[in-house]
Amino acid sequence: MPIIVCGINYKTAPIALRERAVFPSEKIPLYLNDLQTQENIAEAVLLSTCNRSELYCVTEDVERAVDWFCRQHGLSPAEIVPSLYCYRDQFAIEHIMNVACGLDSMVLGESEILRQMKDAFAESCAASAVGTLFNRLFQEVFAVSKQVRTSTAIGACPVSVSSAAVSFIKEIYPAQLNQATVLLIGAGVAVELVMRYLKVHSPQRVCIVNRSIQKAAVLAERYPCELICMTELPEALSNTDIVISATRSPAPIITSALLTARTKPLFIVDIAVPRDVEPAVAELDDVHLYCIDDLKNIIQKNLQGREHAADKAREMIKQKSHDFMLWLNSLEKVAVTIRAYRRQVEELCHIELSKAKKQLSRGEDPAQVLTDFSHALSNKLLHTPTMQLRQAGQEGRLELLQLAQELFAISAVEPELS
């Protein structure tokens, strides 16, 4: 059965569309259950990040999978189809491997996507949406990712969206960062990375606000910063020079109304998808609003010198995906052969069993009937293989004889006569 990938990413869709096609993490089990029960898709994995939303599944009905993807977000075909890509079999496997290795990321070689893919796979396993095929595929994907990162320079000098955000601020902020007050919104991995990169530049003041003050407190133990309650956000915004926001909120956290008390210029870098800052904020005087898509130029500067490593990694992935397809195709051929052989044996058994039943109905000796049945069935089962083996011996095809011994687990050594 075909392996399918369908989705959108930062290369095919603007952030305004990507934020409408997010699969919220808390609803992933519900989505997977719907795929299994309503769409009859036995194996599926959903990957949803700030830069992509993708469905990986095993299905014969590709159009049905694509239709399901569109329906979940209330998007019309006219809105999403121009940005939607769909890959099948080896191209799908290559894509999944490229994603896991960070080769399809906005930040080439970033490692965060591998963690996100492992989390997505674990969610599918917990929802019983992973079978033999996807279990084998994703173990291969994770192994390839490890090999790529250890045998190429793709992971050298790692760059992330968080580090790109800090570099971007350095370029656009007119003063020195050590004179700035920075407000961080969120307390997840992205914000923790921002804090790590900011620490080098020693901002005058760093504040962190998050709905869960306990989670923010954990970061405050690792990095020097002040904790602010969400209720104090309006006041904090009025005293801030720079805002970097990265939450998983489904709705904007910063609105135009929150910035009415502001008295100085404000630089906002919103790296969340869906966005944490409503677009209308950009229309306010002395507010400079940027989203994750605005970081592309900074990111491109960090890719210089790694193109060769990326090419080498893609060649490895192409070979690995080809090998996986060979295994998958051989598996299908084996299954077809086994089914055909089983059907053939069952037909022979049915014929001989029918004969035996008729003999018993005529009152013939049961012992003799069973003996005749045994001899007839064994002769029919052995007739064709015996003829083929004899012909192979006459033609000198001894490898077929060796395969037969292995297939039927038999020894060609004649037993000694006592």
Question: How far is it, in rounded angstroms, from Cα 12 to Cα 22?
Answer: 15
Question: How far is it, in rounded angstroms, from Cα 185 to Cα 219?
Answer: 12
Helices 307-361 and 90-100: angle between axes, nearest 10 degrees: 130
Structure tokens at 399: 């490898």
The full DSSP string for 55-123 is: EEEE-S-HHHHHHHHHHTTT--HHHHGGG-EEEETHHHHHHHHHHHTTTTSSSTT-SHHHHHHHHHHHH
Helices 112-126 and 132-151: angle between axes, nearest 10 degrees: 170
Structure tokens at 276: 């944490």
Give the burial class of 155: count Cβ atoms within 10 A of its Cβ; 0-12 exposed, 13-18 middle, 19 or more buried: buried
What is the CA angle 77-78-79, rounded to 5?
90
Please answer whether residues 243 and 183 qualify as being in contact, where contact means their C-beta atoms are separated by less than 8 angstroms: yes
β-pairing, 85-88 vs 3-9, is antiparallel
CA 206 to chain centre: 35
Structure tokens at 166: 């800090």
Structure tokens at 29: 């089990």
Spatial CA neighbour of 244 closest among 307, 310, 177, 305:
177
The structure tokens 């014929």 sit at 351
Active-site residue 101, yes or no?
Answer: no
DSSP 45: E
Q: Report the catalytic residues.
A: 50
